[in-house]
Structure 1
Amino acid sequence: MKIGIVGAGAVGLLAGAYLGRHHEVHMIVRREEQRRMLTKNGIACDTLESPVPVKASRSLDEEVDLILLTVKQHHLPDVLDDGLPAGVPLLFLQNGMTHYRRASLDPRPCFTGIVEHGARKENDCSVRHTGKGVMRIAPLTDEGFGVYRRLFEALAEEDFPIYLEGRAETMLKKKLLVNAVINPVTAVFKVRNGELLTNPYLSDIARKLCEEACDVLSLSFPDEWDRVCRIAEKTGSNHSSMLVDLMEGRQTEVDAISGYILEEGTRPLPYHEFIVTAVRAIEWEEGGNTNE
């Protein structure tokens, strides 16, 4: 199978490495330097024996069977308006839910997924697999997977499992909630995920954020708080993606995650209002509001 992957950050590199072992992967990147490195070296992943050869270019100039969109939320509009081929199924792999509405209106076959793996980009052609998990994929229309079911089933490997889910909205809400609790708190206070459990003050902030998000998203607080705690414990030594973005001077996805909850809320959400303002203040101070 020929697979295009738009975006070569941590998730894009991880997917490219695992899928590239048995499929022809074409990485689409913005920078010429990264294109050259991927073409020359392939993708190295610490859990795989050797680098995986991939194609790399700055635009998709050949036919593919599937396109994975692994760019950040704020880069999606440019990508979708950049002439992606018609008729090729798109798999959205973003944090947050702001892509959900737009993807639902796209005339192309659209699917969304969540990546429960931990990944850290080491350099332009190397990724560290910091936590093994699964990828979950769901259709964005009432038509379901249809003729594309076998396509997605063919992607799954024993060490890179893929589960096909029935309802995209529920799946995305649950992932959004975890991100809305763990990401901004760890980013603002510059701590690893596990400190949300060991620091009682951070735990209290996280709990309040979870309560507010559950109210907005119509999710069960006891169930979701338990899940947040389990994920924070499992990924305890990891830095969240939002903290990494701030550390490296990049724009975060706080608007697509916590900002989405603020937009959907019908009553005051003081903890979300504070945490969004705090992240934006750090972005402004570090220049992440302007850097890629």
Structure 2
Amino acid sequence: MSDWLTSIEGTEQGHQVALGLALLAALLHAIFGALQKGRHDPWLSRGAIDASYCLMAAPVALFVVPWPEPHMWPIFGVVWLIHVGYKLMQGWTYSKGAYTVVYPVVRGTGPLFTVIGAYVLFGETFTGVQWFGVAVLLSGIYGLAVYNLRTIEVDRHTLVPALWLAVGTGFFVALYTTYDAYGIRATADPFTFLAWFFFIDGFFMPIIAAVRWQRMADRPDLGPLALRGVIGAFVAFFSFGSIMLATRLDKVGEAAVLRETSTVFAALIGWLILKEKVGPRRLLLMALIALGAVIVEMGG
């Protein structure tokens, strides 16, 4: 599969495959966010997920895929630091704000910074029509966040700091999307990057989660938490793997924007699973998000 993927980089077929991967990543990323924000403490959930995908990726990284080239080790070091910052910001954000309020802000801030970063790092440019699509998508995302902010009844006393944390988390989303795209393009085999990323990325949050669990007066059972971790690990493999392969096959900025249709999926998850209210105004805003993504795709 590695040979086939590298053979379609920069081609029309590669563009179509990247489109499908970005949309798949959108759905899976919303599911991943809901898993972390669900009934367990988000720090514990993330720790369980990271521990699971670290253990699953270890034999693949060590014995299956080609080993990274020497120049990849510093890249992995920077990648690890960026993702540590992202996870800390994300954990604080989810701890203080309702999922349907903070998630749109995180995902809305991310693509705007990513498009700018892709221009600086890869020389990618958007057409005027695509920039209009970005504006439509962001208006839907931020409109959804504002509407939720005005109507949501939970966590209101911490919503303002949660929103600022969400903006900071969005910056880290852009940072890791852009730099990870650089990393997966820097190695001959894209699956080498993915396997080693999941292996080394899983070392930090399990420690934080273990310390937090030990300090809890009412500790949750480890069985359900471990199950959530395993499920989240599989979702992470396909979500992160899809978007990273999309950024290798085609433009980083376009993949990042299309992934943010995850906000639509997140709102549906919040309504169907987390029992958060959805009305006609939110449905209209979600339609704007989807329309913006379509304009970005068609405008290219």
If the TM-score is normalised by the length of the shorter chain, which range does it land in?
A: 0.3 to 0.5
Please, what TM-score do these two structures have when normalized by structure 1? 0.33
Higher relative contact order (CA 8 A, sep 6+): 2
Q: Which protein has the bigger strand share? A: 1
Please, what TM-score do these two structures have when normalized by structure 2? 0.33
Q: Which protein has the bigger helix share? A: 2
